[in-house]
Amino acid sequence: MGFRCGIVGLPNVGKSTIFNALTAAGIESANYPFCTIEPNVGMVPVPDERLDRLAAMVKTRNKVNARMEFVDIAGLVSGASKGEGLGNQFLGHIRQVDAIAHVIRCFKDDNIVHVSGDVDPLRDREIINTELILADLESVRKRLDRTVSQAKSGDKIFKEQVLILQAIENHLDQGLPARSLELDDNGRELLRTMFLLSAKPVLYVANVAEEDISRGNPWVEELSRAAAAEKSSLVMISGAIEEELSRLDEAERRDFLEDLALSEPGLHRLIRTGYELLGLITFFTVGEKETRAWTVPRGSKAPQAAGVIHTDFERGFIRAEVVSCQDLLACGSEARAREKGLLRLEGKEYVVQDGDCVNFRFNV
């Protein structure tokens, strides 16, 4: 469905290393700025233990995970909003994604140059946020000038938009991202149409050294407090560990994780958190031929979910047979779930829940 999460950050913070591990793409990752010029794109499966268990239960021949698109975007530097470095390209690429995974360096390595000279996660976070806000301020002011002229006609809609745009401008001018501004329905709709960079949801990725992966470090603690203050999520991973894991087979990966006292790769947490950040949920179709995870935005109704599988399913939707994956797994089969009254029929107004197992009935 084209849900895109952009990986951004200053040069040399580990963006491409993490992208390599996510996608096993093997793109160039080097110790100099702007190694990534054109954005690299990879489709990444969303790990889901529920899907694994459902597929094992019915002995399916084909298991298909939900997928997310990650985009590795060129490193940004201070002044990007004024065209410094690859500023205009960078900002244009961010405009095309739905959410931002902001990678921040929380490790010291004298062999890897830091573009600002030393490690300071809060400063690095501020540089990226400031450049996005400055770019947004320019966009809002242009839109405001145009709307003020239109409002001179006396049109009530344009007058209301002027007030909303002034509120957005004032908020940005205080150094605050657009996503933190509280607006009414009309304001939110206007904000949505502007595609502002700082309106996009953000996930912070603290990239740490291998020795800090189990306990973190003071840099991560600082960054975690800052993320919590703006109600953003933070995931701590070690790009070096994840890159090494991506080269191992399944058995070697398990042994390596066990040696590090880790229950799963950090990238699994990153993918799941990114998925949640985008407001997505998963429903399943279960069968011996194929068991598959499907992605829909939270709040989707049954016909829209059916349309993700095939547009004919949405057009001819009659009803949906629904059982939660927990109930289905507990029963061991659809027949048993039906016997126990756990499988129910739902109509067009049913809002699909995360973890639903669904059979759609439709007319062609």
Range of 3-17, 40-54, 68-82, 156-170 with top mean pLDDT: 156-170
Flag whether pLDDT at 84 surpasses 80: no
Half-sphere exposure of 242 (CA within 13 A, CB side): 28
CATH class as words, domain 299-362: alpha beta
Flag whether pLDDT at 149 surpasses 90: yes
Beta bridge partners of 235: 205
What distance lies between CA 310 and its chain's CA centroid?
A: 24
- Model confidence, pTM: 0.80
Flag whether pLDDT at 34 surpasses 70: no
Q: Tell me the backbone φ, ψ of residue 28, rounded to 5 degrees.
A: -65, 135
| Residue among 56, 62, 48 at smallest CA distance from 328 | 56
Span 165-197, pLDDT tens digits: 999 999 999 999 999 999 999 999 999 999 999
Question: What CATH architecture is 4-47+65-117+201-277?
Answer: 3-Layer(aba) Sandwich (3.40)
Higher pLDDT, 328 or 244: 328
**Distance of alpha carbon 62 from alpha carbon 108, whole angstroms:** 44
3-class DSSP string for the chain? CCCEEEEECCCCCCHHHHHHHHHCCCCCCCCCCCCCCCCEEEEEECCCHHHHHHHHHHCCCCEECCEEEEEECCCCCCCHHHCCCCHHHHHHHHHCCCEEEEEEECCCCCCCCCCCCCCCHHHHHHHHHHHHHHHHHHHHHHHHHHHHHHHCCCCHHHHHHHHHHHHHHHHHHCCCCHHHCCCCHHHHHHHHHHCCHHHCCEEEEEECCHHHCCCCCHHHHHHHHHHHHCCCEEEEECHHHHHHHHCCCHHHHHHHHHHCCCCCCHHHHHHHHHHHHCCEEEEEECCCCCEEEEEEECCCEHHHHHHHHCHHHHHCEEEEEEEEHHHHHHHCCHHHHHHCCCCEEECCCCECCCCEEEEEEECC
pLDDT at 16: 83
Span 285-304, pLDDT tens digits: 999 999 999 999 999 999 99
Beta bridge partners of 292: 64, 285
- 18 pLDDT tier (thresholds 50, 70, 90): confident
Span 218-254, pLDDT tens digits: 999 999 999 999 889 999 999 989 888 888 888 998 8
Domain residue ranges of the chain, discontinuous segments joined by +: 4-47+65-117+201-277, 130-198, 299-362
- 22 pLDDT tier (thresholds 50, 70, 90): confident
- 116 pLDDT tier (thresholds 50, 70, 90): low
Q: Output the CATH code of domain 130-198.
A: 1.10.150.300
**Distance of alpha carbon 304 from alpha carbon 317, whole angstroms:** 9
Flag whether pLDDT at 26 surpasses 50: no
pLDDT at 17: 86
